[in-house]
Amino acid sequence: MTKAFTFELEGKDAQARAGRFSTPHGALETPVFAPVGTQACVKAITPAQLDEMGASLVLANTYHLYLRPGDQLVAEMGGLHEFMQWGQPILTDSGGFQVFSLAERREVDEDGVNFRSHLDGSSHRFTPESAIAIQENLGADIIMAFDECPEPYERAYNEEALRRTHAWAERCLGAQKRKDQALFGIVQGGIFPDLRAQSAEHIASLNFPGNAIGGLSVGESKEEMHEMLDVVNAILPEDKPRYLMGVGTPEDLIEGVRRGVDIFDCVLPTRLGRNNAVFLRDGGRLNMKNAVFAKDQGPIDEGCDCYTCSTFTRAYLRHLIIAKEMLSATLLSIHNLHTLIQLSKDMREAILEGRFSAFADSLEMKEQAAR
């Protein structure tokens, strides 16, 4: 770990934390939600729009960028920051989740994974060393160790995958050459408390500058996810940021922060936006295609000050959807991303003022009332 990566814990309220993680492209004020830019772009959103809504961290996908346009090309273009024209911190995953999601297209051994591209069926291989080399070419501020993400309920497979994940984490540390990138380890273990505890202890012992929690929100219940977060965060060090991978609804952010999580990312806000759906601050959702909005002159969410809610009516947004105008995806995605980014900032303020528990409870009561 270099001096470029420091985590300062600025406040706590029970287990909820407010911190500041310094990177070469600026400090992240946590809790923070990262929009996902899978292919070096957040779908339907420009970097200027991300900046306007207050985004401070964007995630890009190693697997997809390795296949297209290629990590070597990105390096030749000056790295991801220059390539996608985003001047603030970027995080890249290791490609592990995508590779292990391929199921019939991959074969795992102790050294790594053989897989076939979802684009053209061509054969490829990822190892811990190659995953680090690819991410070093991409040039993100935060990079991830190559791990194995198993189905959460298969005990035997989780035990085997955990052994590989831990061995691969050590190999990733040994392979890292660039010191201007923070390499995070990843905790796995399915829904098994003892495996999660074992994994948290091992990953913590390796002294990564930050630690991620993987293999959640992949089919388990919310109660099981919360139990695993309680187990893991009781073990992970206080002086390192904690990143819950692939989780992103208002409820998930609140419950994650309540349990000590600092960083979140998810494709859901923009995916919902492209499919006519929006978050409400109270945890509800609306399908903006519904006929009930045809003459509705109100904003998506009363009290929301995003560009979409400040400018357009529900009636206009429904018109765009019915007319199949691309602008609908942009405007709904702006609202969804703004909702999570602003929620993260509001939670940070509540933690620093010692009122997070009351803040979170009030939102949960609104959510229950909305149901």
pLDDT one-digit tens code per residue, 54-95: 999 999 999 999 999 999 999 999 999 999 999 999 999 998
pLDDT at res. 135: 98
The Cα 177–Cα 211 span in angstroms is 19
Write the burial class of residue 157 (CB in 10 Å: 0-12 exposed, 13-18 middle, 19+ buried): middle
Strand, coil or helix: what is 182?
Answer: strand
Least confident window among 33-42, 107-116, 199-208: 107-116
Q: Looking at residue 363, what is its pLDDT?
A: 84
Q: Is 13 annotated as catalytic?
A: no
Q: Is the pLDDT at 311 greater than 60, yes or no?
A: yes
Q: Which of 147, 252, 262, 265 is catalytic?
A: 265
Q: Which two tokens stand for residue 189?
A: 């273990």
pLDDT at 4: 73
Q: What is the structure's pLDDT at 321?
A: 98
* Chain position carrying tokens 């074992």: 198
Tokens of 82: 């220059």
Q: Is the dihedral of CA 270, 67, 143, 147 positive or negative?
A: positive
pLDDT tens, 129-147? 999 999 999 999 999 999 9
Instruction: Give the list of residues 6+ apart from residue 221 with CB closer than 8 angstroms, or none.
Output: none
pLDDT category at 1 given cuts 50, 70, 90 is: very low
pTM summary value: 0.96
CA atoms of 168 and 145, how far apart (whole Å): 7
pLDDT at 97 (0 to 100): 80
Where does the pLDDT of residue 100 fall: very low under 50, low under 70, confident under 90, or very high at 90 and above? Answer: confident
Give catalytic status of residue 265 as yes or no. yes
All structural domains of the chain = 7-267 (3.20.20.105)
More confident residue, 371 or 260: 260
Q: Please tell me the distance from the alpha carbon of residue 122 to that of residue 347, in angstroms, as a whole number.
A: 45
Residue 2 — pLDDT band, cuts 50, 70, 90?
very low
Direct distance between the N- and C-terminal alpha carbons of the chain, in angstroms, rounded to an integer: 46
Task: Locate all alpha helices (DSSP H) within the chain, ordered by sequence.
Answer: 47-52, 62-67, 71-76, 80-84, 96-101, 128-138, 155-175, 193-205, 222-233, 250-258, 268-274, 307-311, 314-322, 327-352, 356-370
pLDDT digits (tens, 9 = 90+) for 335-360: 999 999 999 999 999 999 999 999 99
Residue 124: its pLDDT value, please? 94
Segment 247-304, tens digit of pLDDT: 999 999 999 999 999 999 999 999 999 999 999 988 899 999 999 999 999 999 999 9
Options 71, 93, 252, 262, the catalytic residue: 93
Q: What's the pLDDT band for 237 if we cut at 50, 70, 90?
A: very high
pLDDT of residue 272: 98
For residue 285, the SS3 value is strand
Can you give the pLDDT at residue 103?
A: 66
Which candidate, 348, 341, 5, 340, places its Cα nearest to that of 143? 5
Going by pLDDT thresholds of 50, 70 and 90, the confidence category of residue 101 is: confident
* 40-41-47-51 Cα dihedral, nearest 10 degrees: -90
Radius of gyration of the chain (CA): 20
Which pLDDT does position 153 carry in this prediction? 96
| 104 confidence band (pLDDT: 50, 70, 90) | confident
